[in-house]
Structure 1
């Protein structure tokens, strides 16, 4: 009798368990790496900095304003050019909002074609013009 059969668990069950646990972990790990890459290679940090330092955003949401760790979005790039579209949750002391971002990278430099905050109460603030 083989050693794995002596333990009472057939070998195929052990490999099945490895597949049931391992595949989702592998996929989740890949998703996490893609998320972290997108967060670091996209205009995420610049967009969040502009929004959280904007006086009108701080007034509408209530200072201090902070960004949620997770966000939704997609990014496409080819060489030094690309596009990133994101929605980033913001939390203030009086209400929450969403930062809508469309970043365009040309020759390796990111800029914004859309950068606006929409508060829960419906207030919209265009942040693309600066601080």
Structure 2
């Protein structure tokens, strides 16, 4: 557990964010998640742990994390925003419109897009491909 705390502290310090219990709790929930989470998912996970965290606090923490490049935020079809820790190889997603399954992929397309981003001084890459049914639905 101490190692986990040190890692989370380092993430916050490298982003020049003050270490608070709310930030540590949200960061820990996102770090342990195996999928993208909504604010409600974060609140529910937090409630199970019997810790007090308001929705406004979660939104505020996520806003700061997004501004500092710690998390990625994206929406699909105007649904609730989904959040996950920012990772180099998780920028491209395939979203199943039937079941909501999200698959991450990394291949030459992403490399080419990143090259174009550099060439045109773009600051972020968020791409979601949608399909009517995924392999889990078939």
Query: Structure 1 length normalisation: TM-score?
Result: 0.29
Higher CA-based Rg: 1
Greater fraction of residues in strand: 1
